[in-house]
């Protein structure tokens, strides 16, 4: 099943985001270790495109618990980059 993961960064998180970005990318590369596949994902950016303000991913996971476990292990989550995290079931319409 699919889950959307919509996050918004904490205020003034830009330096933290930069500091742990490499670890975040490495975590994403290991999604299969959590039983998760990232179908699409990337940063949310300010309207002028100059700053990352959050993240958006669509995950394929066997259940909500797997999607949440993957998200909690993300360095952006663990290091306080993300202030708001909203995980929702997503049904793709073809």
- Report residues of the chain scoring pLDDT below 50: none
Instruction: Give the pLDDT of residue 92.
Output: 86
Instruction: Give the pLDDT of residue 61.
Output: 98
Instruction: Give the pLDDT of residue 93.
Output: 83
**pTM for this prediction:** 0.92
Q: How many Cα atoms are found within 13 Å in the side-chain-facing hemisphere of 93?
A: 0
Structural class in CATH, domain 2-90 = alpha beta
Instruction: Give the pLDDT of residue 30.
Output: 97
The residue ranges of every structural domain in the chain are 2-90
| Phi and psi, residue 71, nearest 5° | -65, -45
Instruction: Give the pLDDT of residue 94.
Output: 75
Question: Using only C-alpha atoms, what is the Rg of the chain?
Answer: 13
Residue 71 CA: distances (Å) to CA of 36, 49, 61, 80, 93:
10, 25, 12, 12, 24
| Residues linked to residue 66 through DSSP beta bridges, in sequence order | none
């Amino acid at each position: 099943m699919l889950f959307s993961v919509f996050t918004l960064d904490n205020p003034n998180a830009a330096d933290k985001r930069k500091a742990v970005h490499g670890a975040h990318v490495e975590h994403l590369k290991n999604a299969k270790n959590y039983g998760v596949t990232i179908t699409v994902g990337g940063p949310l950016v300010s309207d002028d495109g100059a700053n990352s303000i959050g993240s958006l991913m669509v995950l394929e996971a066997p259940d909500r618990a797997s999607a949440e476990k993957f998200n909690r292990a993300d360095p952006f989550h663990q290091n306080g980059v993300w202030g708001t995290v909203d995980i929702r079931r997503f049904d793709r319409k073809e």
